Chains A and B, each alone.
Chain A
């Protein structure tokens, strides 16, 4: 049987075989072929963005994606929202003894495909194998380097009162897809896992963006809470304007979850001056990843550091930073 053994991570023959048969085969490029302890890179500008992310997801393959795609897009998106053009990635794998090699192969293929789509190169990598029971089949770390060409860098500190808040489509799809898999729920739940660099480039080239962030783990709730604190502003969301698929809403209702706290893997929150908001919205809609874009709220002077949701009846519910655990608070 083609299984990963401890020897695959020991640095000997089997490791070399793995590198040749999988990594070089699928991911190969001039940097990776150098085969040294590190990659020597030349960059077109001196201003770079460097970002890292680790990926642990169960199930590894889910509707709309897999852990490989996620590992590439995750870091690419982090670079893109910083206003950078992603160029290079590193790939660190921690494999659990007993992982089926064909499955690993599929993940590597998926990584290769994602790299190709986004135009990044995997330039360095590492593989370790842990004993059976000490890992969850596969963990992936990617670090990425991107270069900045844009005249300004969006930051979480730059949201201004009066700014509008936009998002490029339905929220919570990734979180819902993962939940549906885990809970064995049938229904139309597909992860939004996608590379945002192209869409973001389109926006940044044309508009003065203040703040941009991908609401991945912790969802919109976590992202906007961070921004509200960093920029010392209040954030008002309009319940009726926020795109959430009906099936996601229903699922959240069943599980007592807040869709705003569900993870996204192909969404970007854009905060920019009110004057250009509708134009940005139209522009986003011209892109395949922005068809369902919407203006979902507004930055306010106060209450500082607070995100709240306004509904049609005038009620205002605070969306706090998600705790990460569904503890009851009603006594």
Chain B
């Protein structure tokens, strides 16, 4: 008679080949059922005749893999007989504490690459080659458990050869869910924009080489969405792409064949090489070589190039004929990356000349991650492919908190016990498609992680969509609004596990303050983990017309100059602004009720008053130009005052007056910008010294979008370290608004009413 038993093996049984061993001996003993890793060790459900199971258990003890140590085997009766037909290994994707680990997408591995290039291999030049160690994950998994049937590979029945590999525990493709070959797997198709098929498979790739060399714009389906590829050595083609994408100056990312090719265009440090070749395969911002032949149009505003290495087999095949290709997300401005095939033909029609696609659906759009190296460590600027949805471990965090994030550069977070899952990047929530994909993303994560929100954390800003969402979608849950810059700070605290006392320096664009003003140049002191006290901020200045001031940096410049009391006319005469618009702005300055302490706007204002940029075409452009022009070696600085009240105010007036004076004298912009950067660093130092004196604090945490400025970050670190402070910045959680969801979760956890 058939019996069904649950067998739990504890001890050192994970990661030592235990499950394939169990699988083998189960078959030998005619046992059906399954084996999986569990909290205790390994869990087995075995069905068979009583004597077969007894023999099976005996063999486990006797023939265990050499490295395994069995502490205990417990056997209980299973609830019922399931009548399994086979014995399977179940991938549970939970770590040893039982927490769900959904794998991020992985770049193609060395073994697979060898086969890709091996003429004798049956997967020679097959662009979807993968194995257990590599390939798509997060982008193709519909739901857990992670089984082929729950992925977008379900449409591709395995051929006998692939099936053999998939079923064989000794094969490196054993239970590689997306496994495929040219006989059974996805195929490539090259279409024109009218959806006429031009070529297929390897022929399509050869055609793509030719088209790209001709200067054509190719849309190609990558891992997490479509890319637009263009030859970056061809300025005409790059301009073409700019026009069609309606993207004036924002830099394009490049894919380079390998590190050797990379070095033709950029200077690479060891740390940058390491990050480029890591499993994340992010876009890394690297210093452009003076001799680089990459068209200036690729990144006109700065001296960096965002480069990445190929990460799919298709990329490797395409890059065979190129040192570098522009590889930018295929989308319309502000919209999320295009990832569905039908959508691609509609949306990309006016942009691409040809579309290289395939029939493996992408289920979840994920952009490329973006990072830079600071002090030999990564600083993530966009957290997406390769990182999402990996959790951040935050010991003691409660389960059930949903943090909705911010408005632009949005991401959300949810908590399981001790873990925070951070979503990928979603973009501007005022865009309909972005908002849809954000809302879908929340649903998706809730299902995926078996999560039910109990507490909702969101930004204090009454005008962010997230505030409305919190009210409307979660009317019955406890809701915790959290100040924007406190969330920025808490994100660093959470990721880097910082314990108080510490000071947080949050230099940011704009965020809604607790006093109804627009914050953005904030210093907080935390003596305990519970409370961040705002100890100092940049002195408020009028913020003209809300977001319009962000789009038109001259408005910040005007505020800054006017509030110093100098004669306006001689300082604003050369701005490219309509006379009546300018006059109108001047008239309204004194009547503004909205004030800001934003350092982001200070950077904007200085950039505009130096004539670098009066109206921007992409976020942060004015500040980027100011940074690019700064002379790093400059040691001079400008003055500022610290007004002795609580909180301290950093008075920018001397700074602005001296800049205007320098400008009048004809001092080079490079020098002025260098001195300005130094001054901002000295503002940090000045407050840090006060805080050290009063509280003995040495840990200084940095966050906020302004710290994406390398010169500022480097100089601030160097200067603070020379004074024996301990500066900290986050690594894998962005300093910009994509990081605030983590901070929201962290603070909410402290504020929860039991």
Give chain A's interface residues, CB within 8 Å of chain B.
Answer: 183-185, 253-257, 303, 305-306, 308, 313-318, 320-321, 323, 325-331
CA distance A318 to B433 in the complex (A): 9
CA distance A314 to B338 in the complex (A): 13
Given the interface pairs A183-B584, A320-B468, the reply to whether A328 lies near B431 with Cβ below 8 Å is: no
Q: Is the CB of B431 within 8 A of A255?
A: no
B637–chain A nearest beta-carbon distance, Å: 27
Q: Is the CB of B462 within 8 A of A317?
A: no
Q: Is the CB of B549 within 8 A of A318?
A: no
Q: Is the CB of B408 within 8 A of A323?
A: no
Among candidates B346, B461, B543, B544, residue contacting A329 with C-beta atoms closer than 8 Å: B461
Q: Let me know if B436 is at the binding interface, CB within 8 A.
A: yes
Give the chain B neighbours of A308 by CB distance below 8 A: 432
B23–chain A nearest beta-carbon distance, Å: 47
Q: Is the CB of B431 within 8 A of A330?
A: no
B352–chain A nearest beta-carbon distance, Å: 14
Q: Let me know if B347 is at the binding interface, CB within 8 A.
A: yes
Give the chain A neighbours of B429 by CB distance below 8 A: 318
Give the chain A neighbours of B698 by CB distance below 8 A: none
Nearest CB to that of A252 among chain B residues?
A: B548
A65–chain B nearest beta-carbon distance, Å: 23
B627–chain A nearest beta-carbon distance, Å: 18
Q: Is the CB of A329 within 8 A of B407?
A: yes
Q: Let me know if B135 is at the binding interface, CB within 8 A.
A: no
Q: Let me know if B546 is at the binding interface, CB within 8 A.
A: yes
B584–chain A nearest beta-carbon distance, Å: 6
Q: Mark B439-463, 1 if CB is under 8 A from A, else 0.
A: 0000000000000000000000111
15 CB < 8 A contacts A-B: A254-B585, A305-B472, A313-B332, A325-B594, A327-B594, A328-B543, A328-B546, A328-B596, A329-B510, A329-B546, A329-B547, A330-B510, A330-B619, A331-B409, A331-B508
Q: Let me know if B48 is at the binding interface, CB within 8 A.
A: no
Q: Is the CB of A327 within 8 A of B509?
A: no
CA distance A325 to B585 in the complex (A): 17
Q: Is the CB of A303 within 8 A of B619?
A: no
Give the chain A neighbours of B105 by CB distance below 8 A: none
Q: Is the CB of A328 within 8 A of B550?
A: yes
Q: Is the CB of A183 within 8 A of B587?
A: yes
CA distance A253 to B615 in the complex (A): 13
Among candidates A254, A305, A316, residue contacting B433 with C-beta atoms closer than 8 Å: A316
CA distance A316 to B336 in the complex (A): 12
A250–chain B nearest beta-carbon distance, Å: 8
B734–chain A nearest beta-carbon distance, Å: 12
Q: Is the CB of A256 within 8 A of B548?
A: yes
Give the chain A neighbours of B435 by CB distance below 8 A: 303, 306, 318
Give the chain B neighbours of A325 by CB distance below 8 A: 463, 594
A173–chain B nearest beta-carbon distance, Å: 19
Q: 7 shortest A-B CB distances, which residue pairs?
A: A256-B548, A256-B545, A326-B546, A316-B432, A331-B509, A323-B463, A330-B550
Q: Is the CB of A331 within 8 A of B546?
A: no
CA distance A256 to B551 in the complex (A): 9
Q: Is the CB of B431 within 8 A of A329?
A: no
Q: Is the CB of B510 within 8 A of A328?
A: yes
CA distance A254 to B577 in the complex (A): 10
Give the chain A neighbours of B585 by CB distance below 8 A: 254
Nearest CB to that of A316 among chain B residues?
A: B432
Nearest CB to that of A186 among chain B residues?
A: B580
CA distance A183 to B588 in the complex (A): 7
Q: Let me know if B553 is at the binding interface, CB within 8 A.
A: no
Give the chain A neighbours of B512 by CB distance below 8 A: 327
Q: Is the CB of B431 within 8 A of A256?
A: no
Nearest CB to that of B520 among chain A residues?
A: A331
Q: Let me know if B518 is at the binding interface, CB within 8 A.
A: yes
Give the chain A neighbours of B587 by CB distance below 8 A: 183-184
Chain B positions 591-627 with a Cβ under 8 Å from a chain A Cβ: 594, 596, 600, 619
Give the chain A neighbours of B550 by CB distance below 8 A: 328, 330
Nearest CB to that of A305 among chain B residues?
A: B472
Chain B positions 501-557 with a Cβ under 8 Å from a chain A Cβ: 508-512, 518, 543-551
Give the chain B neighbours of A330 by CB distance below 8 A: 407-408, 509-510, 547, 550-551, 619
Which of B246, B472, B543, B584 is most buried by chain A, counting CB atoms within 10 A of its CB?
B584
CA distance A184 to B246 in the complex (A): 36
B581–chain A nearest beta-carbon distance, Å: 5
Give the chain B neighbours of A184 by CB distance below 8 A: 587
Which of B409, B518, B548, B578 is most buried by chain A, counting CB atoms within 10 A of its CB?
B548
Give the chain B neighbours of A331 by CB distance below 8 A: 406-409, 484, 508-511, 600, 705, 736-737
A180–chain B nearest beta-carbon distance, Å: 10
Nearest CB to that of B704 among chain A residues?
A: A331
Among candidates A254, A317, A320, residue contacting B581 with C-beta atoms closer than 8 Å: A254
Q: A interface, by DSSP: helix, strand, loop or mixed? A: loop
Q: Is the CB of B546 within 8 A of A256?
A: yes
Q: Is the CB of A316 within 8 A of B581?
A: no
Give the chain B neighbours of A328 by CB distance below 8 A: 510, 518, 543, 546-547, 549-550, 596
CA distance A256 to B543 in the complex (A): 12
Beyond A257-B545, A327-B512, 15 extra complex contacts between A and B, CB < 8 Å: A184-B587, A185-B584, A255-B548, A308-B432, A314-B332, A323-B463, A325-B463, A325-B594, A327-B461, A328-B510, A328-B518, A329-B407, A329-B546, A331-B705, A331-B737
B330–chain A nearest beta-carbon distance, Å: 14
Give the chain A neighbours of B163 by CB distance below 8 A: none
B288–chain A nearest beta-carbon distance, Å: 28
Give the chain A neighbours of B584 by CB distance below 8 A: 183, 185, 254-255
CA distance A91 to B632 in the complex (A): 70
Q: Let me know if B333 is at the binding interface, CB within 8 A.
A: yes
Q: Is the CB of B468 within 8 A of A327?
A: no
CA distance A320 to B406 in the complex (A): 16
Q: Mark B451-486, 1 if CB is under 8 A from A, else 0.
A: 000000000011111001000100000000000100
Nearest CB to that of B463 among chain A residues?
A: A323
Nearest CB to that of A327 among chain B residues?
A: B463
Which of A255, A256, A326, A328 is most buried by chain B, counting CB atoms within 10 A of its CB?
A328
Given the interface pairs A320-B465, A329-B407, the reply to whether A256 lies near B432 with Cβ below 8 Å is: no
CA distance A326 to B433 in the complex (A): 24
Nearest CB to that of A229 among chain B residues?
A: B472
Q: Is the CB of B432 within 8 A of A318?
A: yes
A309–chain B nearest beta-carbon distance, Å: 9
B347–chain A nearest beta-carbon distance, Å: 7
CA distance A254 to B518 in the complex (A): 21
Q: Let me know if B91 is at the binding interface, CB within 8 A.
A: no
Among candidates B333, B484, B588, residue contacting A315 with C-beta atoms closer than 8 Å: B333
Chain B positions 92-111 with a Cβ under 8 Å from a chain A Cβ: none
B606–chain A nearest beta-carbon distance, Å: 18
Q: Mark B401-437, 1 if CB is under 8 A from A, else 0.
A: 0000011110000000000000000000111110110
Q: Mark B346-385, 1 if CB is under 8 A from A, else 0.
A: 1100100000000000000000000000000000000000
Given the interface pairs A303-B436, A318-B435, A327-B512, the reply to whether A255 lies near B463 with Cβ below 8 Å is: no
Give the chain A neighbours of B408 by CB distance below 8 A: 329-331
Q: Is the CB of A314 within 8 A of B545?
A: no
Which of A306, A326, A331 is most buried by chain B, counting CB atoms within 10 A of its CB?
A331
Q: Is the CB of B407 within 8 A of A316?
A: no
Among candidates B430, B518, B705, residue contacting A318 with C-beta atoms closer than 8 Å: B430
A218–chain B nearest beta-carbon distance, Å: 14
Q: Let me know if B634 is at the binding interface, CB within 8 A.
A: no
Chain B positions 569-586 with a Cβ under 8 Å from a chain A Cβ: 578, 580-581, 584-585
CA distance A327 to B593 in the complex (A): 11
Q: Let me know if B258 is at the binding interface, CB within 8 A.
A: no
A133–chain B nearest beta-carbon distance, Å: 20
CA distance A254 to B468 in the complex (A): 28
Q: Let me know if B334 is at the binding interface, CB within 8 A.
A: yes
CA distance A313 to B518 in the complex (A): 33
CA distance A308 to B428 in the complex (A): 14
Q: Let me know if B670 is at the binding interface, CB within 8 A.
A: no
Q: Let me know if B689 is at the binding interface, CB within 8 A.
A: no
Among candidates A253, A256, A303, residue contacting B547 with C-beta atoms closer than 8 Å: A256
